[in-house]
Amino acid sequence: MVKTSEQVYRQIRAGILSGDFEPGMFVPEDEFAHYCGTSRTPVREAIARLVSETLLQRSGTRRVFVPLWSDADVEELFTLRAQLESHCAERAARFIEPEQIAQLRAHADFIDQALASRPEADVPGFVEGNRRFHATLLAAARSEPLNQMMRIIVSQVIIHRTAERYTLSDMEQSQRDHRDLIEAFAAHDSAWAGAIARNHIRRAAYAYRLRANEAASRTSEQAD
C-alpha cells in the first residue's frame, strides 16, 4: 500500500509524541519507512514538515533526530511561548469573527468530553482539543509573522509531555482558562485576553516543573 506524505506525517508524528522514537534518538529515513510500511519518498516529505515544526531536527551532518530538550531549554520555550501567546490573544480579541468564537466553543466542548472520559481522562483527546483551540486562536490573530514564530517556538513534544504529567485538576484549570479566553474574545477585550493567555502558559510551565520534580523524587526514592 502506497501511503501519502500526509498519512506518513501523521504516523511519524504520533510515534514521536507517544515515545516510539525517544528524545535524542537518531532515526534514518529507512527506519521511518519501515515503521510506516512505505517507501522513502513520502518519508522525506514528512520529515521536512516535522523539522519545520521542531518535532524533528537535523544535525550538522544532516542526520535526523528527535530533539532532547534540557530543563533550561524547556523553561526558555515556555517563557517565549507565554509572550507570543499573549500577543496572539491580544490580536485575536481585536480581529476574531463570530464563526471563530463558535469554533473555539466547539473545541472547548471537545476538551470537556475528553476530561469527562472514564475511568480516566482522555489525555490524547485533551491534547488534540488543545491543539485545535490554539490553532483557531492563531488563525484569528491574522499575523503570518506570528504564525511562523509560533511554529518554531511551540513544541508539540513538550505540550504532549506536559499534558501527560497533568493531574485531572491541572487539565480542568487549563480548560477554565480556555473558557475565560472565549469570554474575553466575545468582549473583544485585548488586555483581558492577553493576561489570561500569559497566565495560561505560565501555569503550564509551573505544572511541568512540579510534575517533573515529583517524578525525579520518586525515581530517587526507588533507587535508594
Q: Would you say residue 105 has pLDDT above 80?
A: yes
Closest-CA residue to 6 (of 34, 33, 43): 43
**Identical fold at 5-65 and 71-223?**
no
pLDDT digits (tens, 9 = 90+) for 43-89: 999 999 888 877 898 998 889 999 887 778 888 888 999 999 999 99
Domain ranges of the chain: 5-65, 71-223
Considering only 22-26, 37-41, 52-56, 119-123, which range has the smallest mean pLDDT?
52-56
Report CA-CA distances (Å) from 174 to 2, 30, 82, 166, 171: 40, 39, 14, 10, 5
Q: Would you say residue 163 has pLDDT above 70?
A: yes
Identify the pLDDT of residue 219: 64
Class of residue 223 by CB neighbours under 10 A (exposed 0-12, middle 13-18, buried 19+): exposed
Identify the pLDDT of residue 200: 94
CATH class of 71-223: mainly alpha
Q: Which residues on adjacent β-strands are paired with residue 58?
A: 64
Q: Would you say residue 141 has pLDDT above 70?
A: yes
pLDDT digits (tens, 9 = 90+) for 11-26: 998 888 777 888 889 9
Name the CATH code of domain 5-65 (choices 3.30.420.40, 1.20.1600.10, 1.10.10.10, 3.30.70.1710).
1.10.10.10
Share of the chain above pLDDT 70, in %: 92
